[in-house]
Chain A
Amino acid sequence: MPLKSPPSSRSVTRHWVYDQLSSALFIPLSLYVFITFFFEVVLGGGRESVAAWLRSPPNGAAMLLFMAVTVYYKACWFITIIKDYVHDAGLNRFGILAVKFCAWILALAGTASVLKIIVWD
């Protein structure tokens, strides 16, 4: 099986930088969301307080950013794992496509839900 030509050093560097950036951003964003959102809101009140928390601009922005970063970050993980462990070339390609598909679905569903709560509720 002929190997594809290797990706350019520029695209590899860009991938590495995004990878570092998403993992570095994931930590403060997730801590902020988990501590304020889950502790104060989910445990503290019902549906209304969750919506009220999301409507505050910094919180809504943090939640949207958290979802974007997390989707990207986790998709990177899944793709790396598939590249390492799924040795069948066709299955490998299919797995990576499936991960990207699921990542888009999650990102769109999450963003649409948060925006709906912020804008229309």
Chain B
Amino acid sequence: MPSDPPRRTGRPLSPHLQIYQPQITSGISIFHRFTAVGLAGGFAVLVAWLFCLAWMPEWYGPFTDILISPAGRFFLFGWTWAYFFHIGATLRHLAWDMCLGLSLKSVYLTGYLMLAASFFLTFAVWIAVLWREELPCL
């Protein structure tokens, strides 16, 4: 039997966010989780939108209008960034699981790279979206 559960011994429970000095490594790690939660919300919205399209056509228009309203765009922009951040972080994890890029130097390098890439790609997508703004459904 392993040692007592931490609750009983009074030791802090992992992952020790309160007592851990913020670093890019832990920062990306926790944002990997935040973005996973945020994207799950985005996915639920996507399913709801497809549901309207399939089963409640009268709601499809209003739903789309909400999504492309300023408030909707705020969320869509956030989901875009969360998406790129999340797949960047996931790619790093997949590489680590193949024992690639595990040195401290490459962990920092890929961390800064993916952070920069997530912002760059988000702005690139939104510039492209705004570029096509005279669109039939908008």
Contact = CB atoms under 8 A, between A and B. Distances in A.
B60 to A, nearest CB: 6
Contact of A74 (B40, B57, B90, B93): B40
A91 B42 CA distance: 25
A12 interface: no
Nearest to A113: B54
Interface residues of B, number: 39
Interface residues of A, number: 37
Given A77-B36, A84-B15, A27 B90 contact: yes
Contacts of B128: 39
B53 A51 contact: yes
Contacts of A113: 47, 50-51, 53-55
Interface in A61-90: 67, 70-71, 74, 77-78, 81, 84, 87
Contacts of B37: 77-78, 81
B47 A67 contact: yes
A116 B56 CA distance: 12
Given A106-B44, A110-B47, A116 B54 contact: yes
Interface string B1-27: 110010100000111000000000000
Contacts, number: 86
A109 B57 CA distance: 15
B47 A106 contact: yes
Nearest to B50: A113
A34 B2 CA distance: 46
A106 B39 CA distance: 14
B52 to A, nearest CB: 8
Contacts of B39: 74
Nearest to A41: B137
B87 interface: yes
Interface in A25-42: 26-27, 30-31, 34, 39, 42
Contact of B1 (A3, A46, A77, A106): A3
Sort A-B residue pairs by CB-CB distance and give the 4 closest, nearest first: A113-B54, A77-B36, A74-B40, A116-B54
Interface of A: 1, 3, 20, 23-24, 26-27, 30-31, 34, 39, 42-47, 50-51, 67, 70-71, 74, 77-78, 81, 84, 87, 106, 109-110, 112-114, 116-117, 121
9 contacts: A1-B5, A27-B87, A44-B132, A46-B137, A77-B40, A84-B15, A110-B47, A113-B55, A114-B50
